[in-house]
Amino acid sequence: MKTIDEFRQSLRGVLIEAQDEDYEAARKVYNGMINKYPRMIVRCADVADVMASVNYARENNILLSIRSGGHNAGGLGIADDALVIDLSLIKFTLVDPESKIVMTGGGCTWGDIDHATHAFGMATPSGIISTTGVGGLTTGGGIGHLTRKCGLSIDNLLAVDMVLADGSFVTANASKNEDLFWAVRGGGGNFGVITAFKFKLSPIDMVYAGPMLFELSEAEEVMKWYQDIIKNAPDDLNGFFAFLTVPPVAPFPEHLHLKKMCGVVWAYTGTMEKAEEVFKPIRSYKTPALDFVGPLPQPALQSMFDPLYPPGLQWYWRAHFVKELSDDAIAEHVRFGKELPSMLSTMHLYPINGAASRVGSSDTPWAYRDATWAMVIVGVDADPANKDVITNWTKAYWEALKPYCAAGGYVNFMMDEGEERVKATYGHNYERLVRIKNKYDPNNLFKVNQNIKPVLNVEYK
């Protein structure tokens, strides 16, 4: 067994402990509500460092966590007294334009990937903020502007390289370690540390996209209209619904500053000529209070909201899957939309119909292929003193919508919804996930996540 000094010397990356100058900055995650004190943070430089870290944690019985972009809702990239495997130095992007594939390091952000692929006029589906990590977003599913066109991020994943609980290195794809490849497409960080992801690329270069805002007094009507569009739209048209407060900054017009509104953030991936035609009926529905929809390079859309949400804000998250917006559900939405507790708090309904719905509900662990939306309610504010206000609003909103939603919610939008909720989310796929966990991580080394607990002494079939 290695001493800590031997472990440190074996690394190409950096080991940071509490007494080190970098510790305070290194232990922070994106969500300012999370304040954890890990025992050590290992900034791994390569796969060898990841293997050494997994072995060191296991042999010394140290809690292990995995951090890619550090954006996790519940801060599950770090934990008190843990060894944190920090992948932020493992950043590379290799685009093969002929095969339309990108290979990325486990520490890349989606901005890194967009930057690399956009140069070739291509993209792979990600989220709506470019600073989110490829690691957490992908292993949980991956919903964003391209979901209706291309499916979830996991639907575009071709292979992973990963380090398992016993320190061994494997590649998993459709024909090699198929059980692992199935499990990592939605099963989170439960099965090992992914050091590289390989994604399929689609020829998406420019998008016709941006926010369209309406008065809050029109929210009921707008939600009904929006539901109708999304349920019948071609795959090329994506649009997520939001309640929001208009930020008091350019380019928003001053008369709208700090006004509570509702709106849709559209993203059309067809040709720019066709876009005008597709948006004609949308624009003729009623004149929006603000229409920022137009041609944009894909990475510009994906990073559009980055400045609004810098790291360190207080975030409280809750999730639901939604099949239908009934009149009663819409009434509850409007009630809580009017009570947004802070400028940055919001509710989003992300469409997951279209291409994502055509993947079988057992083809990956992501069971809710028949839902229309993944809904997220987030209370967000810069001031820790408002923690209770944003948390209480989020919880009350979530409770009020529960009767109108499915049993589960998207794991990546969950913070502290508990084990039963995670089980409900995986539904009929949960048992298979447990069997794979039993095989690859029977002692639950990878437990700082939305945990799939192994059942010891149950043989893997």
Residue ranges in contact with ligand FAD by CB under 6 A: 29-30, 66-73, 76-77, 87, 106, 127-129, 132-133, 135-137, 139-144, 188-189, 193-194, 309, 412, 448-449
Nearest residue (CB) to ligand FAD, 114 versus 330: 114
What is the closest distance, in whole angstroms, from the C-beta atom of residue 261 to ligand FAD in the complex? 20
Q: Which is nearer to ligand FAD, 206 or 304 (CB)?
A: 304
Beta carbons within 10 angstroms of residue 343's beta carbon: 18
Q: What angle do CA 20, 26, 314 make, to 5 degrees?
A: 135
Least Å from the CB of residue 134 to ligand FAD = 7
What separation in angstroms does the CA of 51 have from each of 55, 87, 195, 236, 391? 6, 12, 10, 42, 38
Nearest to ligand FAD of 67, 148 (CB atom): 67
C-alpha distance from residue 193 to each of 136, 158, 414 (Å): 11, 16, 21
Pinpoint the alpha helices (H) of 175-326.
Answer: 178-184, 219-232, 272-285, 298-302
Nearest distance from residue 79's CB to ligand FAD, in Å?
Answer: 9
Q: Shortest approach of ligand FAD to residue 208 CB, angstroms?
A: 19
Cβ-based burial of 138 (10 A; exposed 0-12, middle 13-18, buried ≥19): buried
Residue with smaller CB distance to ligand FAD, 68 or 429: 68
In 3D space, the residue among 16, 24, 37, 29 whose CA is nearest the CA of residue 76 turns out to be: 29
Q: Taking the complex as a whole, how short is the minimal distance between the CB of residue 120 and ligand FAD, in angstroms? A: 23
Smallest distance from the beta carbon of 446 to ligand FAD, in angstroms?
Answer: 7
Q: State the minimum distance, in angstroms, from the CB of residue 145 to ligand FAD.
A: 8
Q: Which is nearer to ligand FAD, 201 or 313 (CB)?
A: 313
CB burial of residue 158 (10 Å; 0-12, 13-18, 19+) = middle
Contact (Cβ atoms closer than 8 angstroms) between residue 307 and residue 250: no
- Closer by beta carbon to ligand FAD, 344 or else 405: 344
CA separation (Å) from 141 to 127, 159, 182, 251, 328? 10, 14, 12, 32, 29
Residues 253 and 290: beta-carbon distance below 8 Å = yes
Cβ nearer to ligand FAD, comparing 140 with 330: 140
Q: Provide the b/e sequence for 99-121 (b: ≥16 CB within 10 Å).
A: ebbbbbbbbbbbbbbbebbbebe
**Which of 151, 108, 111 is CA-nearest to residue 128?**
111
**Comparison of 141 and 365: residue with beta carbon closer to ligand FAD:** 141
* Pairing label, strands 193-200, 157-163: antiparallel
Rounded Cα–Cα distance for residues 180 and 183 (Å):
5
**Comparison of 162 and 222: residue with beta carbon closer to ligand FAD:** 162
* Least separation in angstroms between CB 192 and ligand FAD: 7
| Amino acid occupying residue 8 | R
Check if the beta carbon of residue 63 is closer than 8 Å to that of residue 81.
yes
Nearer to ligand FAD, 143 or 377 (CB): 143
**Which long-range contacts link 93-96 to residues 24+ away (Cβ below 8 Å)?**
93/117, 95/119, 95/120, 95/122, 95/201
Query: What is the nearest approach in angstroms of ligand FAD to the Cβ of residue 130?
Result: 10
Closest CB to ligand FAD among residues 137, 282: 137
Q: Assess contact for 85 and 193: CB atoms under 8 A.
A: yes
Minimum CB–partner distance for residue 118 and ligand FAD (Å): 18
> C-beta of 147: minimal distance to ligand FAD in Å?
9
Q: Smallest gap, in angstroms, from Cβ of residue 141 to ligand FAD?
A: 6
Q: What is the CA radius of gyration of the chain?
A: 22
* Between 380 and 401, CB nearer to ligand FAD: 380
Q: 320 in the Ramachandran plot: left (φ > 0), alpha (ψ -120 to 50) or beta?
A: beta
β-strand 206-215 against 294-297: which pairing, if any?
antiparallel
